[in-house]
């Protein structure tokens, strides 16, 4: 029993650390990976605002197209904006890579730029949803912005034109720790608050899908497996009773 309890604690420890690591209450993301339109919209936001710096090197355009109900031509027209060394448009069967290498990224941003293919599985949908919506102006940071969910983040706020300028009310406790109590839009962007929240939700939906494109199939297979095991249990139980009826 002691070994079992230890194994369970070790299994859940990473999720507990992740949940407690940010020290803030995370906003809930309404994720539905069966919503193909949301995945399409999220993918378009991803390639326009994320893919220039962050790669998704384990995701292929044509896999996205097949799952989100997009033709090869729709992928070329709406999602594929990169070209190879010959100047030809990136093919639909290729991975979502970028031209930026680690050396340039380290020189420009001070660190390597992480690949985002499985970032939703690493950080969680609620964390991403909160993070992308809680950038605020901080003139002490090199990028001019800071983040409530990820303090002193090196990433610039690439969505600021859509969200607008957001400023923070900061409280310093007795230990000298800074706390962001409230965020306020002081200069509106091109999107209203509701529109921006929906855009970020679609973006996170795409990133959750990208982290495991087979998740809907996996859940369906798991459900049918449970149904099969339930039926098999009934048959096995009845067979057991038939075999042992003369003994009992």
**Are 133 and 234 in a shared domain?**
no
**Are 73 and 127 in a shared domain?**
yes
Distance of alpha carbon 217 from alpha carbon 169, whole angstroms: 45
**Are 114 and 52 in a shared domain?**
yes
**Are 99 and 146 in a shared domain?**
yes
* 125: CATH: 1.10.760.10
**Are 94 and 143 in a shared domain?**
yes
**Sign of the torsion formed by the C-alpha atoms of 146, 151, 157 and 159:** negative
Burial 145-168 (b: 16+ CB within 10 A, else e): bbbbbbeebebebbbbebbbbbeb
12 is a domain residue = no
- In this structure, what are the phi and psi dihedrals at residue 3, rounded to the nearest 5 degrees? -65, -40
| DSSP-derived 3-state class of residue 9 | helix
Supply 236's token pair. Answer: 């096995």
Tell me, what's the pLDDT at 210?
Answer: 96
Packing angle, helices 36-49 and 61-68, rounded to 10? 150
116 is a domain residue = yes
How many domains are contained in the chain?
A: 2
**Are 144 and 234 in a shared domain?**
no
**Are 113 and 206 in a shared domain?**
yes
Tell me, what's the pLDDT at 222?
Answer: 94
CB 147 within 8 A of CB 153: yes
5 is a domain residue = no
Which segments within the chain are labelled E, that is strand? Answer: 56-60, 95-96, 135-137, 145-147, 164-172, 178-188
Question: Number of C-alpha atoms within 13 angstroms, CB side, residue 14?
Answer: 6
- Block means of pLDDT (10 residues each) for the chain, 248 residues, are 46 43 81 96 96 92 94 93 83 88 73 90 96 95 93 92 94 85 94 97 97 92 95 92 78
Tell me, what's the pLDDT at 9?
Answer: 46
Tell me, what's the pLDDT at 248?
Answer: 58
2 is a domain residue = no
Could you tell me how far CA 130 lies from the centroid of its own chain? 11
198 is a domain residue = yes
43 is a domain residue = yes
**Are 235 and 183 in a shared domain?**
no
State which residues form the domain around 245: 224-248
CA torsion 87→92→98→99, rounded to 10°?
-20
200 is a domain residue = yes
**Are 41 and 79 in a shared domain?**
yes
**Are 241 and 198 in a shared domain?**
no
18 is a domain residue = no
**Are 47 and 99 in a shared domain?**
yes
**Are 137 and 67 in a shared domain?**
yes
């Amino acid at each position: 029993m002691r070994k079992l309890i230890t194994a369970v604690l070790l299994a859940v420890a990473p999720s507990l650390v992740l949940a407690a690591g940010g020290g803030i209450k995370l906003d809930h993301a309404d994720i539905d990976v069966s919503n193909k339109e949301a995945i399409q919209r999220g993918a378009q936001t991803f390639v326009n605002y994320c893919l220039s710096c962050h790669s998704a090197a384990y995701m292929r355009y044509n896999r996205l197209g097949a799952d989100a109900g997009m033709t090869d031509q729709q992928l070329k027209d709406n999602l594929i904006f990169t070209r190879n060394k010959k100047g030809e448009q990136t093919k639909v069967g290729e991975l979502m890579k970028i031209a930026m290498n680690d050396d340039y990224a380290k020189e420009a941003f001070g660190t390597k730029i992480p690949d985002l293919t499985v970032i939703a599985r690493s950080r969680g949908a609620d964390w991403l949803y909160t993070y992308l919506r809680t950038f605020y102006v901080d003139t002490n940071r090199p990028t001019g912005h800071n983040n409530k969910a990820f303090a002193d983040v090196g990433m610039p706020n690439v969505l600021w034109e859509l969200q607008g300028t957001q400023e923070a009310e900061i409280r310093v406790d007795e230990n000298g720790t800074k706390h962001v109590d409230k965020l306020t839009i002081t200069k509106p962007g091109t999107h209203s608050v509701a529109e921006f929240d929906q855009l970020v939700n679609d973006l996170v939906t795409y990133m959750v899908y990208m982290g495991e494109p087979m998740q809907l199939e996996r859940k369906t297979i798991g459900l049918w497996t449970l149904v099969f095991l339930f039926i098999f249990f009934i048959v096995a139980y009845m067979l057991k009773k038939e075999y042992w009826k003369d003994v009992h």
